[in-house]
Structure 1
Amino acid sequence: MTDLRHRFNAFVKLGSFFKEYCKYAKNKIQIDDNQHAWFVKFDEILILAGHHNGWFTPENILFSIESWAELLTPSELESWLSKYDLGKSRPKTVALIMAGNIPLVGFHDFVSAVITGNRVLVKLSSNDKILLPFIAQYLIELEPLLKDQITFAEGRLDDFDAVIATGSDNTSRYFEHYFGKKPNIIRRNRNSVAILSGDETNDELMALGEDIFRYYGLGCRSVSKLFVPQNYNFEVLFKALYPFNTIIEQKKYANNYDYNKAVYLMSLYKILENGFLMLKEDKNYASPIATLFYEFYESPEELKIRLTNEKDRIQCMVANGFMADEVPFGQTQKPTLTDYADNIDTVDFLLKT
């Protein structure tokens, strides 16, 4: 079993690898021969991941990798881990059941479990089976002793001490049935919302576009619903979001846009649309691809009470000066190491289990 220093250094080196690879992928910079071999492999992995899952475009995979490069640094890791007494860690086998909606969506669980000295038994989603095994291979190249800590499982999971499972409301019932007797974190459906006042700047609304369109809106941190005041001017929003219009060139997104638009029109639903995004008034949080739900509010105080009461359904609340735990415009897809999914401290769970 590796000690903390070796695990820490391995993830720092992985962060450097991510950073240099992103520079290479964007600019094809000159690199040494050993790195070049791994970069060429990573090129192939990006292509393979895209073939396996059409939503995993090179741009979105690179965005995810670059975001992790900013987090896997000595200062970020030290700041994160300094909050815990890692001496209390008792190595255990943790089953990680991954979602596959966006690239590396379960990577935070993986880092948390491995860096705290646990063995991980990873069950990958059928939608994301390519990226993490490659990254694990590189980590083991950096620190061979990590080989004993990382296992990828096919089929039934056996011989584990705790489980972290991410899925939908439907799969959570399955997880609770099979894993309920083990220490667990079981995550369900969540969505993100934005609260607009009508006084947002054009820059803020453009930044909101990143929250809406990044990963094609497939992540739980993607804004799927707006709360807007009565008589809100949607033309201002559409104008600010126009720079994202090229998203409609992605075939899978365009197919969803056309299909959902046809359903709405045949059902005589009233929608607003601009050729690449539809707005539909709806009380639900989870909107289909290429659609953003919205709801009018009259009283900001009543809306605050409602959102507080329904916080278990919400991952992020985007606003400017509306609530204490809000996320700034454009930042939902840039979580820090302490932004735990569903606000459940994964490291604390691992140390206490």
Structure 2
Amino acid sequence: MAPDRNTIDAFVKLGKYLTDFCDKCYSNAPQVDQGLKEIIARAGHQNGWFTEDNILFSLQQWGDLLTEKNIKDWLSNYSFNENSEPKTIGIVMAGNIPLVGFHDFLSVLLSGNKVLAKLSSNDKVLLPYISNYLIRQEPSLSDKIEFTEDKLENFDAVIATGSNNTSRYFEYYFGKKPNIIRKNRNSVAVLIGNETEEELKALGEDIFRYYGLGCRNVSKIYVPKGYDFDSLFNALFHYQDIIHQHKYANNYDYNKAVYLMSEFKILDNGFLILKEDEALTSPISALFYSYYDDETSLREKLQYMEEQIQCVVSNAERDINFGDTQKPSLSDFADGIDTMEFLLKL
């Protein structure tokens, strides 16, 4: 089914609405939409990680993406079947960062299908509010968007995002239907030692945005043998105020105590713990690092681990630029699986 012109227009209007709202918030303008302002506050009360700053950042990214040009350029990559019947797509949303399931929601509606969404208990108010805005712009969407708190039933395909543990549950319940089931992934950065202070400061955005809770957050860095961490610590000092967020500070205190009691060798700057560790997944407030001998061998290693890695960040042309992990385009799909292609083949 071809994307509906009115649905595209509704998302374009949403993009402008979000951009205008964020601009007014950042400039402390008095005429800010109080409805969305209250929803942001409610989201923060329900989930202490959802600070106003992080929610606004997410809204701003979607505002920037949802332009007519961006949407049309994205959709032009696909062949739509005019005669296909709309299908009901179950979406099991994660709740680690604000609106983390919005791309799936967008893809289902623009593919001409219906959304049946099960929201995470950690992110229950933002998407319904945005959905109501879309329905006001295009009333026909009211028949295409449904939220449920019950077990998903009566769907034709499913997109489920969770952890390695929940993926086994998802595969058990949804395995007989067409599905995309996402597991844990992390992002890594490759440093070669010639990064500028601005690049390392931008890396801090990849590490600290959303407190490191997203799969696109850098949780592990690879550094050459003999790397001097002083330049990295100096650049990251820009983010020192993160320690004033009590949930982050609690994690920092706990992880530091555990590492010290276990007599692990750590580097610490008062708000971030660096620990040498082969694992890709570091806890909140910690950043793992590993040394490498030569970049070619490292790249082969990363290729071998590609199913565990969401993004690779470096100043090499093949990778994502420092500071850009949380600014994906519409064609940057989670786990590298083209959601739109999946939907169009149903």
**TM-score above 0.5:** yes
| Structure 2: unaligned runs, 5 residues or longer | none
Correspondences of 1:54-203 after superposition (within 5 Å)? 54-88=48-82, 90-203=85-198
Correspondences of 1:249-328 after superposition (within 5 Å)? 249-321=244-316, 324=318, 326-328=319-321
Which letter maps to 2:294? S
Alignment partners' CA distance in 1, 2:260 and 2:271: 16
Secondary structure of 1:85's aligned partner? coil
Whether the aligned pair in 1 keeps the contact of 2:3 and 2:111 (CA below 8 Å) is: no
Q: How many residues align?
A: 345
1:27 deviates by 2.3
Percent identical pairs in the alignment equals 58
Whether the aligned pair in 2 keeps the contact of 1:2 and 1:145 (CA below 8 Å) is: no
Whether the aligned pair in 1 keeps the contact of 2:225 and 2:293 (CA below 8 Å) is: yes
1:3 deviates by 6.2
Which residue pairs with 1:342 in the alignment?
335
Is 1:53 the equivalent of 2:47? yes
Which letter maps to 2:328? P
Whether the aligned pair in 1 keeps the contact of 2:3 and 2:110 (CA below 8 Å) is: no
Return the TM-score normalized by structure 1: 0.96
CA deviations over 1:193-246 (Å, ceiling 9, x no partner): 000001111111001000000000000000000000001000110001101000
Alignment partners' CA distance in 2, 1:25 and 1:240: 28
1:180 deviates by 0.4
CA deviations over 1:18-46 (Å, ceiling 9, x no partner): 01111222224365xxxx6xx11101101
Return the TM-score normalized by structure 2: 0.97
The alignment's C-alpha RMSD in Å is 1.3
Alignment partners' CA distance in 1, 2:248 and 2:290: 24
Which residue pairs with 1:214 in the alignment?
209
Alignment partners' CA distance in 2, 1:346 and 1:152: 20
Alignment partners' CA distance in 2, 1:183 and 1:48: 35
Whether the aligned pair in 2 keeps the contact of 1:121 and 1:153 (CA below 8 Å) is: yes
Whether the aligned pair in 1 keeps the contact of 2:90 and 2:115 (CA below 8 Å) is: yes
